[in-house]
Amino acid sequence: MPGLIARADGIAVATITKLDEDWLYDDPCGIIMSATHQCNGTVTYRVHLMPIDKDIWAFTPIYGDFGLFPGERAVFIWDKVYTYEYGICRAKQGMTSTYCPEDQLPALTSDLDVLPVADSARVDSLRHIRRP
């Protein structure tokens, strides 16, 4: 955990003021994979944090639970990740061999990226460890 915090692209104690599904970055599965529960795609949420007035994204497994909710106050730890507009990319690539551009987004990628506010002092002290 100390290494993850030291390498994080951003950390803030904030409150979720808005939470929306962001289908643009969803990684859906086909009908057969979904029907047989062999899908390992993701569902994407755009999470707005205040008082830092910042949107970050959260990627969750299709069959997983999403534990964040508006009004939740926590320590959020995010990294910049590269992702695609999967639905648009797959449609384009079905017709041509067009390259799919990627977007870089600040994102929560695991349950460990959201910690209780009570841990904020410890997270802050770990944040100041020299980045490798």
pLDDT tens by residue, 49-92: 999 999 999 988 776 667 899 999 999 999 999 988 877 776 66
What number is the average pLDDT over the span 26-52?
Answer: 78
> In the chain, what percentage of residues exceed pLDDT 90?
40
Q: According to the model, what pLDDT value does residue 32 have?
A: 66
Cβ proximity of 108 and 56 under 8 Å: yes
What number is the average pLDDT over the span 97-114?
Answer: 85
Q: According to the model, what pLDDT value does residue 70 have?
A: 96
CA 91 – CA 85 distance, rounded (Å): 10
Query: In this model, does residue 123 exceed pLDDT 90?
Result: no
Cβ proximity of 84 and 99 under 8 Å: no
Claim: this prediction has a pTM higher than 0.75: yes
SS3 state at 31: helix
Cβ proximity of 25 and 43 under 8 Å: no
The residue ranges of every structural domain in the chain are 2-121
Q: Which residue has the tokens 């410890």?
A: 122
Structure tokens at 23: 């289908």
Q: What are the beta bridge partners of residue 44?
A: 59
